[in-house]
Structure 1
Amino acid sequence: MNFVRWLDEAGSPAELGGKAAAVRELLAAGLPVPPGFCLTTAAYRRWREMGRPDRLPPEVAAELRTAVDRLTSSGTAEFVPLLAVRSSAVSEDSPTASFAGQLLTRLGVPPGAVEAAVVEVWASATAPGPKAYVARVGAAEPEAAVLIQLMVPADAAGVAFTADPISGDPTRVVVNASWGLGEGVVAGLVNPDQWVIDKATGRILGAQVEDKEVTVVLDPTGGTRRVPTPPHLRREPALRAEILEQVWRLACRVEAGRGAPQDIEFAVAGGRVYILQARPITARPAEGWVSEFDSETDPDTVWTAANIQEVLPGLVTPLTWSAMQENLNYAFRKPYLETGTLTDPNRVFVAQFYNRVFLNVSALRDVASRAIGTSPEAVDEQYLGRTHGPDRPRRVFDLRKLPVYVYTTPKVVAFIRRTPQDVRRALNRLEPVLADLRARNLSALSLAELLDLRQELNREVREVGALHIATSSGASIFFESLLQFLRTRFGPDAYRLQASLITGLADVVSAQPGLELWELARLARRDPAIKLALLGRDPWSEIGRLESPLAGEFRQRLAGFLRKYGHRSVMEAELAAPTWEEDPNAVLGLVRNFIGLPPEAAPNLVIERQAAGRRETTRFVEERLGPVQRRLFRFLLRQAQLYVTLREQTKSLWMEVTHLVRRVYRELGRRLAEAGVLEDPQDIYFLTAAEVGELVQAGLGASEARLRIRRRRAEFERNRQVRLPEFFSGRPKPAFGEPPASAAAVLRGIPVSPGVVTGPARVIIDPRVQPEIRPGEILVAPVTDAGWTPLFLVAAGLVVDVGGPLSHGSIVAREYGIPAVVNVKTAVRLVRTGQTVTVDGYRGEVHLHPEG
């Protein structure tokens, strides 16, 4: 039987599979395609009939060797004698099931290793990932032919879409490209350059050149490897104008020949563009599309991004979700079960949809309905932003629930009285434990010992997380109770008074980094060399080379700062995210902002002024209360202040333990990559915690792990383009692209820190990339956590798309005394840097002034 079909020979998709059949069509149409052949589905069936052994059937191997010899000896000068071995399943690259990232590809395969590579490709067709994909999209079980071609020694490579993959606009061609092989682009290893081109004219409508840190190149001994991109090329466009024009013309020819919008992979070598493969752009997912790690949910359950996405903002990697999911649910369940406010021990409080984490508002409303002092309406305001004005008083006592209150109130009171002591005990117990763990040399531990340490730390994460939820619940109860007390006596002024009473507390942990960064800036002001180094591209290295006494003191203080706060960062609960300890330049970027501030902007002075205002507001309230009311007010105020500080303290402790887990996974990723099990240390974040254990203990093969990683990286990039609502019932409906821009002159949210200020906006998406903010500017952010709060010392006001009155950013904004409005939802999209805005922290409004 003939098991080989050359690309210039006739062959049906049933023999060649979808990918090879498409490549044969491209070659027949006169398009530049690397030479090659296909090992047909008949060969796959013969291998399957033999029980899927780890070698090829003898007759298949003989034909394959002959074909490889002919291909590699053809003397084609523009190609290298290494091969690309790609899957080509019968249903692969079809309009409804692309199988992108599901089946294995091997690049840079030496001729003598082709047989083993073919077996790997065939084995991948029956791996768990493709099986799940088959079930999800309703495709047939893949019969895998194998496409084998000469490798293009690519100078640059990428993907061209003949319709916008996000909006679906058929009049545009979108091109993504980077240096080296296309693996860097399609596997999501690099942020590629992007061009948007008018399909009809070839006119460039938009271009974005990225910092391309990594290049994937051929390894002369076989395979590929990742190398740092030369500095002079990192920010250079990967495609010259004449090459981009070639890509556009070829993409239009491919679409015209195949009759539908195409997803085209290409490579550039010696000034010529080669088409590697083309497939129809897979139809937009149906309404029932489910991402791999999506949670199950009832259709009536209400979910929100508020609060939880301060801890886990943006997309969450599979490793982080698998490590945090049960810990978070345990953290919520434990205090609520102890107080009797939760009746279902299996209630789910957190879920993930499309790599984003959401909080169960329905569960929190049920808990609130069983406790005096709070209410479901209070949950709505804190998490959904549904403000209940003075004309809509909230019910904090429901007579119908009297038997429930009789049962839960003694438990809640006992729990609240005990929690501050629990926090102190936890801090005392963990201080020496964490110091010992921080000092431990992880590189000296065996892989088994690292897994044991991971389990030990996981137990601590669970318990500290539960303590944080307990203090957060206490803060919520007393914050709400204080507000209701003030509303009955001061009406609409209650919000302003409450905010003024919960500020200037001095011991709010999350405000402390700003104090120490100020001291670093004070030192820098005294040494011109330090100031100059802070303006450089790599201030950490430049300051390390300075020899002045002040530079030595600066380094010493910075080292102390990193020992104390190095576990904090932007996206600090995401295990893949770099912390301040790992990225000191992020800290130094924040220090740079402080250098030009006047002495009166010192955070200790700011907090003292806030404390003076708090004392004045306290006197104002007490003077208008009778003796009994005054005692109740003092109790509620004392407890609200205490629990707000405890909330921030336990959050920091939680993140400190989480950072130790991160360090263990960093070490595991490094070891597995050095051993060749993973292609890159960062790949570990695209496995689950259980899979990491299986990989270490040889229960999961390296090939299967790599397949899952590639598939999940591709899905992660797809989900990056998905837009989800802030809150919803049941499963969210994923949308692509941006919604139509609003013409509203006033944006509304929740007022969380009083005051009114007008100034130019500074829109910052990620302070690690955009650390600069100038005095007098209004900080506009998608979400805030500990990595953002030092910016608050410079900002004149704060606008945040996500958040509530007890959000991390809200607490620190009150502590620093800047007007703030959160839960605005669309500010990042609608406000432009430099645009004049007015932040009204009394009314919860952001006024957008006309530009120009």
Structure 2
Amino acid sequence: MCCRSHPILRSAIRCVERSGSSKRGAIYVSATVSDPIRGTSEPDRYWTCTNLGEACPDVMSPMCWSIWGDSAEWSWLYSMYAFGVIPKKALVVSPDMNDRGLSCFYGRQAFNVDAIKETMSSLPGVSPDDFERDLMGSVRPDAKKIESSNRRLPVVLAKAPGTAILTGKRIRKLHNRMYAKWVKVVYESDPVSQERPAIERLLEARQDFVDVFSVHCVVRFLFQGGQSGIAAAAAKAGDAALTADLLAGVGGVLETTMTDDLWRLGNHEISEDDFLRKWGYHGPNEGNPYTTSWREDPTPIRYLAAASAVRERPNDRAARSNAAAKKAEQRLLAGTPVLQRPAIRWLLRRMQNTIRTLQIGKAGYLMALDEARAAVKAFGAERVQLGQFDEPDDAFFLTVEECQQLAAGELLNVREIVSVRRATRMEYKNMDLPLSFVGMPTLTQKSDWSAPDILEVTGAASGGGIIEGRARIIEEADDDIDLDPGDVLVCRFTDPGWAPLMALADALVIDIGTSASHGAVVARELGIPFVIGTGNGTRVLREGDRILVDGTTAVVKVLERDIGRELNLA
């Protein structure tokens, strides 16, 4: 089924509540300007930013949410339809955010846990609580009981095999089409394409995002199922710890290729243009269109290339990871009954292909977002010339639909809208949102947060062994921080734009993410010990701490504070 036959619903422009609360008091917003990124929730709705935090990091602008919102909702529903979990008539984006699988609060995306569990209840053989356990690490004691149902079993049995077989081919085709378009329209700025009105190019870019992201969601679902199967096989063989190694050393993962190309750039084997033509759609916080990609500002890759050039080549690290994965497979097969070994080998090969495909899909939708980024900035430049904007990035403080209205001469008080929303977003950036919350979240000022003297954190996913090193707390991928040999990268989230920095680290500790996260995939490919999903690692750990990262138990311990005080944690 072609996603273009199901265009996303137009977002309704609605006024929302005008006030919010934080530790310090009310957030200022205008009584005459709506706030598309604030969000609304019924009092008993349970939300989590886990996993979505790395897909669209930082605080979204109204434009970012207007590109992501309906698109992502339709895409995850499409993945359920593709497997037969929901019927075609349910492939509809609800106008009520409380009924959707995901929403936005103060510029951060969040999953509607119970709403997704309701949908997942129609997946045969899967308990809705399994979703919450995989996502959150546990199930709330007071969670609403949602019963599983087998009523969709015949449809799932009919559709799921074909979807599983054909999805890889579809996502590769979409990726290749998207890459050819990105090079021509965005990187090379084809003159004929640039003659089209920017608003038309923006609408087309958003639809390109839907086309790729919807199929990527199908792959993401396949990954989750395959991972569960491998984990169950490892546990049955008597060594559950094998799972991380079995998912490593896949080979052909795009981010590993990118980090190797960066090494080659640093060693003058390829030119900067060669690198940017291939990877220029990446950049800091790249899931947010309201940022700057490497093609626009290659400064970060110049530093990273120079730093990579004097380190071990990423391909050599990946080769060692591949060797470790083969040994793990041998141990798994040795503990598996002979008659079951062919099925296990098949599952492992399928999972390796799924991991590669998962990263291909991510690259495809990131190119679509860079296409949208270029179109928004072009629209902003047009409006500056017409005297409607003061600067091109004012366009990011309108929604796609408001840009259409502005182009049609139907939107008034544009400067007030931009001014208020720009100020409001800055307020949100200075506040922290809980990873999980019920109803509307309570925000805290970042400056008010102080960590107690906690000396240990745990994560939701880990692997790669055990290592000691110096903690380096990094807020942004383009922060001007040198990672020395022995340093551990500690950050809030990662996306593909972080991959070159990750390749310079001896270990990773990441607040947000799961075993399917980008950080986990890259860490496994490069053989880097990691603990992901700590929630508060960037707040508990301190710059310069000597820490132990234990990828076998998902624990990070502080061994020595930078003030020189040794700590006895025995």
TM class, shorter-chain normalised? 0.7 to 0.9
Residues 642 and 348 of structure 1: CA distance in aligned 2, closer, same or farther (over 3 Å): same
Structure 2 counterpart of 1:345, from 91, 114, 122: 91
3-state SS, counterpart of residue 821 of structure 1: strand
Q: Which residue of 1 aligns with 2:174?
A: 426
1:489 aligns with 2:237: yes
Structure 2: stretches of 5+ with no match in the other structure? 1-12, 93-98, 141-146, 565-570
1:588 aligns with 2:302: yes
Q: Which residue of 1 aligns with 2:6?
A: none
| CA deviation string 1:234-265 (max 9, x = no partner) | xxxxxxxxxxxxxxxxxxxxxxxxxxxxxxxx
CA-CA distance at 1:518 after TM superposition: 1.0
State the identity as a percent.
24
Q: Which residue of 2 aligns with 1:302?
A: 46
Query: Retained in 1: the 8 A contact 2:82–2:159?
Result: yes
| CA deviation string 1:667-721 (max 9, x = no partner) | 11122113321011121111111111222222224xx000001111121122123
1:371 and 1:283 map into 2 onto residues whose CA distance is 43
1:126-205 alignment runs, 5 A limit: 136=18
CA-CA distance at 1:356 after TM superposition: 1.3
1:757 aligns with 2:490: no
1:330 aligns with 2:330: no
1:523-534 alignment runs, 5 A limit: 523=268
| CA deviation string 1:630-663 (max 9, x = no partner) | 1221122122211111111100011112111111
Q: Which residue of 1 aligns with 2:258?
A: 513
Structure 1 counterpart of 2:57, from 313, 316, 337: 313
Structure 2 counterpart of 1:639, from 336, 339, 350: 350
Query: Retained in 1: the 8 A contact 2:85–2:120?
Result: yes
Residues 715 and 509 of structure 1: CA distance in aligned 2, closer, same or farther (over 3 Å): same
Q: Which residue of 1 aligns with 2:96?
A: none
Q: Which residue of 2 aligns with 1:475?
A: 223
2:319 and 2:127 map into 1 onto residues whose CA distance is 34
2:496 and 2:230 map into 1 onto residues whose CA distance is 26
Structure 1 counterpart of 2:416, from 703, 707, 712: 707
Residues 443 and 167 of structure 1: CA distance in aligned 2, closer, same or farther (over 3 Å): farther
CA-CA distance at 1:820 after TM superposition: 0.5
1:326 and 1:283 map into 2 onto residues whose CA distance is 29
| CA deviation string 1:481-539 (max 9, x = no partner) | 2112222332xx31x2111111111211122211011112223xxxxxxxxxxxxxxxx
Residues 795 and 440 of structure 1: CA distance in aligned 2, closer, same or farther (over 3 Å): closer
Query: Retained in 2: the 8 A contact 1:474–1:643?
Result: yes
CA-CA distance at 1:403 after TM superposition: 4.1
CA-CA distance at 1:428 after TM superposition: 4.7
Residues 406 and 830 of structure 1: CA distance in aligned 2, closer, same or farther (over 3 Å): same
Q: Which residue of 2 aligns with 1:626?
A: 337
Q: Which residue of 1 aligns with 2:325?
A: 614
1:672-691 alignment runs, 5 A limit: 672-691=383-402
1:745 aligns with 2:455: yes
Aligned Cα root-mean-square deviation (Å): 2.8
Structure 1 counterpart of 2:425, from 703, 706, 716: 716
Residues 720 and 456 of structure 1: CA distance in aligned 2, closer, same or farther (over 3 Å): closer
1:733 aligns with 2:420: no
| CA deviation string 1:561-602 (max 9, x = no partner) | 1001000112112112101111111111211322432xxx21
CA-CA distance at 1:374 after TM superposition: 4.9
1:449 aligns with 2:179: no
Residues 291 and 132 of structure 1: CA distance in aligned 2, closer, same or farther (over 3 Å): closer
Residues 408 and 762 of structure 1: CA distance in aligned 2, closer, same or farther (over 3 Å): same
Q: Which residue of 2 aligns with 1:124?
A: none
Query: Retained in 2: the 8 A contact 1:515–1:603?
Result: yes
1:136 and 1:659 map into 2 onto residues whose CA distance is 32
Q: Which residue of 2 aligns with 1:659?
A: 370
One-letter code aligned to 1:587: I
2:103 and 2:376 map into 1 onto residues whose CA distance is 23
Query: Retained in 1: the 8 A contact 2:47–2:437?
Result: yes
Residues 436 and 285 of structure 1: CA distance in aligned 2, closer, same or farther (over 3 Å): closer
1:349-360 alignment runs, 5 A limit: 349-360=101-112
1:768 aligns with 2:478: yes
One-letter code aligned to 1:426: L
1:334 and 1:675 map into 2 onto residues whose CA distance is 40
3-state SS, counterpart of residue 506 of structure 1: coil
1:457 and 1:368 map into 2 onto residues whose CA distance is 30
Structure 2 counterpart of 1:817, from 505, 511, 527: 527
Residues 644 and 301 of structure 1: CA distance in aligned 2, closer, same or farther (over 3 Å): farther
Query: Retained in 1: the 8 A contact 2:172–2:361?
Result: no
Residues 488 and 387 of structure 1: CA distance in aligned 2, closer, same or farther (over 3 Å): farther
1:303 and 1:713 map into 2 onto residues whose CA distance is 26
1:693 aligns with 2:445: no
2:348 and 2:139 map into 1 onto residues whose CA distance is 22
3-state SS, counterpart of residue 310 of structure 2: coil
Query: Retained in 1: the 8 A contact 2:184–2:190?
Result: no
Q: Which residue of 2 aligns with 1:786?
A: 496
1:516 and 1:409 map into 2 onto residues whose CA distance is 42
Query: Retained in 2: the 8 A contact 1:764–1:770?
Result: no
Query: Retained in 1: the 8 A contact 2:37–2:60?
Result: no
Query: Retained in 2: the 8 A contact 1:442–1:667?
Result: no
CA-CA distance at 1:410 after TM superposition: 2.9
One-letter code aligned to 1:745: L
| CA deviation string 1:137-191 (max 9, x = no partner) | 69xxxxxxxxxxxxxxxxxxxxxxxxxx9865xxxxxxxxxxxxxxxxxxxxxxx
**Which one is further off, 733-742 or 715-724?**
733-742
One-letter code aligned to 2:243: Q
1:501 aligns with 2:210: no
1:558 and 1:136 map into 2 onto residues whose CA distance is 47
2:181 and 2:168 map into 1 onto residues whose CA distance is 20
3-state SS, counterpart of residue 406 of structure 2: helix
| CA deviation string 1:271-315 (max 9, x = no partner) | xxxxxxxxxxx76789xxx95533343444332111111111120
3-state SS, counterpart of residue 470 of structure 2: strand
CA-CA distance at 1:736 after TM superposition: 3.1
1:308 and 1:619 map into 2 onto residues whose CA distance is 35
1:411 and 1:348 map into 2 onto residues whose CA distance is 24
1:807 aligns with 2:547: no
The higher radius of gyration belongs to 1
Q: Which residue of 2 aligns with 1:575?
A: 289
2:291 and 2:209 map into 1 onto residues whose CA distance is 17
Query: Retained in 1: the 8 A contact 2:175–2:363?
Result: no
| CA deviation string 1:48-73 (max 9, x = no partner) | xxxxxxxxxxxxxxxxxxxxxxxxxx
Residues 613 and 720 of structure 1: CA distance in aligned 2, closer, same or farther (over 3 Å): same
Q: Which has the higher contact order (CA 8 A, sep 6+)?
A: 2
Q: Which residue of 2 aligns with 1:412?
A: 160
Structure 1: stretches of 5+ with no match in the other structure? 1-128, 139-164, 169-281, 389-397, 524-553
| CA deviation string 1:770-806 (max 9, x = no partner) | 3421111111001001111112222111000110000
Q: Which residue of 1 aligns with 2:506?
A: 796
Compare the two structures and name the one with the higher strand fraction.
Answer: 1
One-letter code aligned to 1:416: A
One-letter code aligned to 2:374: R
Paired residues in the alignment total 531
1:843 aligns with 2:557: no
CA-CA distance at 1:366 after TM superposition: 3.5
CA-CA distance at 1:368 after TM superposition: 3.8
